[in-house]
């Protein structure tokens, strides 16, 4: 019985990753192909490239998320140039499934242009160009010919080897409207696949729309306001469609977020919470996310750490009810 349990323990996740890699590289059956962190706003330019270049401060953001099958890393840089009303952003992301059995690597550059409608509202529009590489490491997989049918022992000397890497470029577009009362936006990732789609393209276009209402509440009659933003986010890629209900809260140096996520097939449900410290120059947050699905009998969780550093000089604004682009 110990041998059987041991085999199941090692083989079950390996088979998942093998089937996943076959579906991605062989039959193009993967649905949600653009990866997001449990806290979708921890790396906001992944959600919408038009979130780049919003703040007067230069931003550097580092993210790490882990669960039982996936390790996700990212690093990004954002800078706004006031004299030309434009911003630039760069992001690198690496997603390792099954301890490196399936690897997804991407690099992107973003250019954004900020149109100030008045002192209370702006429209930010951005284009993104990126490079994507997906690969399978067969050395981290276990195949049937490695298992001795008599002793049930896994032999590392016998294995199968294959190495397939998929490389492509991607172009994305996004726009966002932000005021002192609302923020909303729309983006299309992999927009080039809409016009040059063929059987070799395993990456499909992804559509995102989001809408939020900003509430500002005075507490204790001090200068610090409590900013509360309920928001709805819609994600769609291939046959994957998801709704995210979020509530953002910021008071003084404290930040918290709550998320509820469901796909439209109602077979996956997630909830998450983010809390941390939010200074002008520095932000550190932790996110815990738990997911329920009919495919696995027990829920599984994800943990995420985000570190953000802002440098430069923030422009002083003396007008009341001015937008706070760098607050989320």
Domain spans in the chain, listed from the N-terminal domain onward: 2-327
Model pTM? Answer: 0.79
Q: Which tens digits make up the pLDDT trace of 239-278?
A: 889 999 999 999 889 999 999 999 887 778 899 999 999 9
Q: Which tens digits make up the pLDDT trace of 113-163?
A: 999 888 889 999 999 999 998 887 766 666 666 666 666 666 665 555 556
DSSP state letter for 160: -
Pick the residue with more confidence: 17 or 41?
A: 41
Average pLDDT of every residue of the chain: 80
**Phi/psi of residue 195, each to 5°?**
-105, -25
Is 102 strand, coil or helix? strand
**Phi/psi of residue 284, each to 5°?**
-135, 125
Provide the CATH number for the domain formed by 2-327 in this structure: 2.40.160.40
What is the DSSP pairing of strand 215-218 with strand 225-237?
Answer: antiparallel
**Phi/psi of residue 68, each to 5°?**
-70, -15
């Amino acid at each position: 019985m110990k041998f059987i349990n041991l085999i199941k323990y090692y083989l079950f996740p390996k088979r998942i990753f093998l089937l996943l890699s076959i579906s991605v590289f062989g039959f193009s059956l993967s649905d949600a192909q653009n990866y997001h962190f449990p806290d979708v706003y921890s790396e906001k330019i992944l959600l919408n490239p038009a979130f780049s270049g919003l703040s007067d401060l230069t931003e550097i953001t580092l993210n790490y998320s882990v669960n039982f099958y996936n390790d996700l890393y990212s690093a990004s840089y954002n800078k706004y140039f006031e004299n030309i009303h434009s911003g630039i952003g760069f992001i690198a992301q690496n997603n390792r499934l099954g301890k490196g059995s399936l690897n997804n690597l991407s690099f992107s550059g973003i250019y954004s242009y900020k149109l100030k409608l008045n002192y209370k509202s702006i429209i930010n529009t951005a284009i993104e160009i990126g490079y994507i590489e997906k690969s399978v490491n067969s050395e981290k997989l276990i195949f049937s010919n490695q298992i001795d049918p008599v002793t049930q022992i896994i032999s590392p000397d016998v294995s199968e080897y294959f190495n397939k890497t998929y490389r492509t470029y991607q172009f994305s577009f996004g726009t966002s409207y932000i005021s002192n009362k609302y923020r909303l936006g729309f983006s299309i990732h992999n927009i080039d696949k809409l016009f040059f789609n063929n059987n070799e393209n395993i990456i499909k276009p992804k559509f995102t729309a989001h809408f939020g209402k900003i509430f500002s509440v005075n507490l204790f009659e001090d200068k610090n306001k409590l900013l509360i933003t309920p928001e709805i986010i819609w994600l769609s890629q291939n046959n994957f469609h998801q709704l995210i209900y979020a509530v953002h809260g910021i008071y003084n140096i404290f930040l918290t977020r709550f998320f509820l996520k469901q796909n439209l097939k109602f077979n996956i449900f997630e909830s998450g919470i983010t809390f941390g410290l939010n200074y002008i120059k520095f932000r550190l947050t932790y996110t815990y996310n738990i997911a329920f699905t009919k495919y696995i009998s027990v829920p599984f969780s994800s943990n995420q750490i985000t570190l953000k550093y802002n440098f430069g000089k923030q422009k002083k604004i003396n007008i009341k009810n001015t937008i706070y682009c760098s607050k989320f």
